[in-house]
Amino acid sequence: MDFKDTPEQAEFRKEVQAWLKANATPKTKDGGRGSQEEAYEKAKAWYKKVYDAGYACPTWPKEYGGAGLTQIHKVIWSQEVAKYDEPDGYFVIGQGNCGPAIMHFATEEQKTSLLPRMASAEDVWCQLFSEPSAGSDVAGLRTKAELKGDKWIVNGQKIWTSGAQHSDYGVVLCRTDTDVSKYRGMTMFFIDMKQPGVDVQPIKQMDGGSHFNEVFFNNAEIPDSQRLGEVGGGWGAALLVLMNERLAISGVQPDGFPEFFELVQSLELNGEPVVNNPVVRDRLATWYTQHAGIKASTNRMLTAVAKGGMPGAEAALGKLVGAVMNQDIANYALQLMADTGAICDESLAPQRAHFQKSVLFAPGIRLAGGTDEVMRNIIAEQVLGLPQEPRADKGMAFKDIPSGNQH
């Protein structure tokens, strides 16, 4: 990837810098983050401001609420907005995952109606894939959709759905045929999250937040006009969403290094700056190398996409390395803080208790978007070309697959 801006890109960067300077909130080392509800409202206000300025969803066509630009322009925007204290990646699931699904499968009327409202965060979207018995193995899902006339009747449960309690719509994957293999019997829809038959229950997390949710469907009705793709074509549609998810989260996936680098420059150990400690410097060098590698890998993928390619499985590498690194750094940072690492008060703890919160939320990051084991399988099979793991249920009708739910 050529990291030098072309004249046109340099002009765009200058334009973005000027707009952000006039409209974005500078980063500060003090001040609280506020409640989850306050963070959500702040994100809604920020996205609307960005949309009104014409910078929302840089790669989307203008008729769908985007800026009609390239992936490189999106990188430039991300680089510049990262210098400010704004929640620019807050609605990445809707815009990064659900948006491409709507753009690919929905009718033109639905696209022009739904996508601009998604780009401005006037409507918030969630992704309803994982279930209690189908987390890493999404194709094992059991939420059932049955066609009655021109409507599908949905019953079942989803779990770990990020932001569902705030969402207006969701993209949902359902079982529509149990007489074929698990990969062939799924269909994807979009659903109104506020409609009857949809019950969202936030999950209280150990970090105090409720980012994840359980969602229950009890005879929820979905018009067939809200089907995304062919009946039975849900697995292919889901792969499209998951490929775009890899691309989307690659820009917002935390690895913890920038915050750790800032921390070690401010802490002292035995009267000396902790950054001078040889053990700390060794960790710093290791994590910087991984951080730089993730950035380079992401930029290579973005370059391929900008030239017309699809988001590749290589993004699994950044997810695997970055999520583990984020957790390791958070744990090590609290060790460096010694007894003060137990202080979770944002007004007292270094960096507004960033690492205290990271320790508690890091397991969620390692699960979200695919577990470590799933990422390793993706890398092994799709990047390295190694043989697939044996699958005992391959080709078996879904109804014949043994399950703990069967009596």
- Would the pLDDT of 18 be above 90? yes
pTM of the model: 0.85
Pick from 176, 181, 216, 173: nearest CA to 196: 216
- Indicate the CATH number of 125-236 among 1.10.579.10, 2.60.40.10, 2.40.110.10, 3.40.50.150: 2.40.110.10
The region of weakest confidence among 254-268, 274-288, 342-356 is 342-356
pLDDT tens across 193-217, in order? Answer: 999 999 999 999 887 788 899 999 9
- CATH fold of 253-383 reads Butyryl-CoA Dehydrogenase, subunit A; domain 3 (1.20.140)
The yes-or-no verdict on residue 250 having pLDDT over 60 is no
For residue 162, is pLDDT > 60?
yes
Which of 33-37, 105-109, 206-210, 335-339 is predicted with the least confidence, judged by mean pLDDT?
Answer: 33-37
| Residue intervals in the chain for CATH 2.40.110.10 | 125-236
Predicted confidence band at 306 (pLDDT cuts at 50, 70, 90)?
Answer: low
Helix (H) or strand (E) holding 187, with range, is: strand 186-192
Q: Using pLDDT thresholds of 50, 70 and 90, give the confidence band for residue 154.
A: very high
Half-sphere exposure of 158 (CA within 13 A, CB side): 28
Read off the pLDDT band of 31 (50, 70, 90).
very low
**Structure-token match 């990291």, residue found:** 3
pLDDT of residue 407: 43
* Mean pLDDT (the chain, rounded): 88
Q: What is the average per-residue pLDDT within 312-337?
A: 86
Q: What is the pLDDT averaged over residues 393-402?
A: 87
pLDDT tens for each residue of 334-389: 999 988 888 888 888 888 788 998 998 888 888 777 788 888 887 888 778 899 88
Mean pLDDT over residues 249-276, rounded? 83
pLDDT of residue 251 exceeding 70, the answer is no
316 exposure class (CB count in 10 Å sphere: 0-12, 13-18, 19+): buried
Percentage of the residues of the chain whose pLDDT score is greater than 70: 91
Whether the predicted pLDDT of 246 surpasses 70: no
Q: Report which of 45, 63, 48, 43 is spatially closest to residue 103, judged by C-alpha positions.
A: 63
Alpha carbon 11 to its chain's center: 30
Taking residues 162-176, report their average pLDDT. 97
Query: Which range has the worst mean pLDDT, 52-56, 151-155, 263-267, 326-330?
Result: 263-267
Quick one: what percent of the chain has pLDDT higher than 90?
56
Which of 88, 138, 91, 118 lies closest to 190, judged by CA? 118
234 pLDDT tier (thresholds 50, 70, 90): very high
Buried b (16+ CB within 10 A) or exposed e, 197-228: bbebebbeeebebebbbbbbbeebbbeeebbb
- Please tell me the total number of residues recorded for the chain in this structure: 407
154's enclosing H/E stretch is strand 151-159
From the CB of residue 59, how many other CB atoms can be counted at a distance below 10 Å? 18
Instruction: Give Cα 145 to chain centroid, integer Å.
Output: 26
pLDDT beyond 70 at 30: no
The boundaries of every CATH 1.20.140.10 domain in the chain are 253-383
56-80 per-position pLDDT tens digit: 999 999 999 999 998 888 888 988 9
Q: Which residue has the higher pLDDT, 168 or 266?
A: 168
